Copies of this chain bind each other. A is one copy, B any other.
Amino acid sequence: MKKLEVGILGATGMVGQRFVSLLEHHPWFEVAWLAASEKSAGKTYAEACNWRLRDPMPKSARELQVHECKAGEHAGKIPQLVFSSLDSKVAGEVEKEFARAGHVVVSNSSNHRMDADVPLLIPEVNPEHLALVRGQRKERGWKGMIVTNPNCTTVGLAMSLAPLEKAFGLEKVLMTSMQAVSGAGYPGVPTLDIMGNVIPYIGGEEEKVERETQKLLGKFADGRVTPGDFAVSAHCNRVLVEDGHTESISVSLRSKAKLEDLIEVWRTFRSVPQERELPSAPKHPIVVREERDRPQPKFDLNVEHGMATVIGRARPCPVLQFKYTALSHNTIRGAAGAALLNAELMKSEGYLD
């Protein structure tokens, strides 16, 4: 099978590098077009990109030319499918321009996530929300479309909540995060700010987590999404971890449940990506650890190639009903891997033919 050519907007950033890395041996897609800021345009990827991942830059990407983030014919043929990890300062307009020009924009940027007609998607959680694009294209008159994935902190939370919402109904969710520095991109967090320190604030993060979680777990009907009817509160903190957001979570459920019931629905959670065996789908989207001190970023980050949410320490909560710890890889499942799985879902539904 000939692979589908794809482009990357914002290819030189941390998430852009993850896209390039994850796509290196992808069975369906191959990177054919890269774009970044003006100062990178015209250089090869090897010249333009300060590669920061531990694994080396894929050879196939080194000599690709970096273009400006403009749709149209200036830059040879731009592929139909374009991943976006643009900075939110510019993503809003650029992504619309590409969608208008007929591209399928699968974005990790925050700008359009809360647009009523833009799917905010986790394929295991709300694959039916993808149908929002019909109205999006119709009303906006676009040949292309924009599809988004949630914030890196939202993903692990929403993954852990999805089976609970389905089985028991959610009433209240309180989450405190301890987030990795890679979430802030590169150069990102100065060493002098975070070494030996905790920063109890990440701009805009708590609002994103609270609203995105409700949209993700909302009901899709009549062409629109009604946000989930449960309260969410987030405390977001930065700690000295490279990759992996750890979250202390307390929940109240609408129907009666025992601790074993929660563990059971987590362990048995499977969804569309698993049924269709999408290439980037984890076999177990949720992995439950029984040791008393897990999950930990050091040991659990790369379970299922960074695509699983790892849950542990499930126990009763004296204030809400249950509490547990969840861990998710913020630049894989929380960013580039999330968008990639979205694109795979879309392909499996015929959106990329």
A59 CB to nearest B CB, Å = 15
Q: Interface code A193-206, partner B: CB below 8 Å = 1, 0 otherwise?
A: 11111111100000
B196 and A241 within 8 A (CB): yes
With A and B bound together, what is the CA distance between A231 and B192 in angstroms? 35
Chain B residues with CB under 8 Å of A138's CB are none
Beyond contacts A232-B319, A235-B325: 18 other A-B pairs, Cβ-Cβ < 8 A, are A54-B298, A176-B176, A178-B198, A187-B193, A188-B191, A188-B192, A190-B190, A191-B194, A191-B240, A195-B195, A198-B297, A200-B246, A200-B325, A201-B313, A235-B248, A237-B248, A240-B240, A319-B320
B186 and A190 within 8 A (CB): yes
Chain B residues with CB under 8 Å of A193's CB are 52, 187, 191, 298
Which residue among A54, A192, A239, A293 has the maximum number of chain B CB atoms within 10 Å of its CB?
A: A192
Chain B residue at smallest Cβ distance from A203? B292
Tell me the residues in window 185-239 of chain A with beta carbons closer than 8 Å to chain B beta carbons: 186-201, 210, 231-233, 235, 237, 239
A340 CB to nearest B CB, Å = 22
A18 interfacial by beta-carbon distance below 8 Å: no
With A and B bound together, what is the CA distance between A190 and B188 in angstroms? 6
With A and B bound together, what is the CA distance between A298 and B182 in angstroms? 14
A192 CB to nearest B CB, Å = 6
With A and B bound together, what is the CA distance between A317 and B233 in angstroms? 6
Cβ-defined partner of A240 (8 Å) among B239, B294, B313, B325:
B239
With A and B bound together, what is the CA distance between A181 and B240 in angstroms? 13
Cβ-defined partner of A186 (8 Å) among B192, B232, B293, B302:
B192
A116 interfacial by beta-carbon distance below 8 Å: no
B231 and A296 within 8 A (CB): no
Chain B residue at smallest Cβ distance from A189? B191
Cβ-defined partner of A242 (8 Å) among B192, B292, B299:
B192
A210 and B296 within 8 A (CB): no
Which residues on A are within 8 Å of B, measured CB to CB?
14, 52, 54, 56, 172-174, 176, 178, 181-182, 186-201, 210, 231-233, 235, 237, 239-242, 246, 248, 250, 292-299, 302, 312-313, 317-320, 323, 325
A250 CB to nearest B CB, Å = 6
A251 CB to nearest B CB, Å = 10
B323 and A235 within 8 A (CB): yes
With known contacts A174-B319, A239-B239, A250-B174, A198–B296 Cβ distance under 8 A: yes
B237 and A250 within 8 A (CB): no
With A and B bound together, what is the CA distance between A197 and B242 in angstroms? 8
Chain B residues with CB under 8 Å of A295's CB are 200
B293 and A200 within 8 A (CB): yes
A238 CB to nearest B CB, Å = 9
Chain B residues with CB under 8 Å of A182's CB are 192
Chain B residue at smallest Cβ distance from A325? B200
A170 CB to nearest B CB, Å = 11
A233 and B188 within 8 A (CB): no
A201 CB to nearest B CB, Å = 4
With A and B bound together, what is the CA distance between A232 and B319 in angstroms? 6
A330 CB to nearest B CB, Å = 13
Chain B residue at smallest Cβ distance from A248? B235
With A and B bound together, what is the CA distance between A11 and B246 in angstroms? 31
Chain B residues with CB under 8 Å of A200's CB are 246, 248, 293-296, 312-313, 325
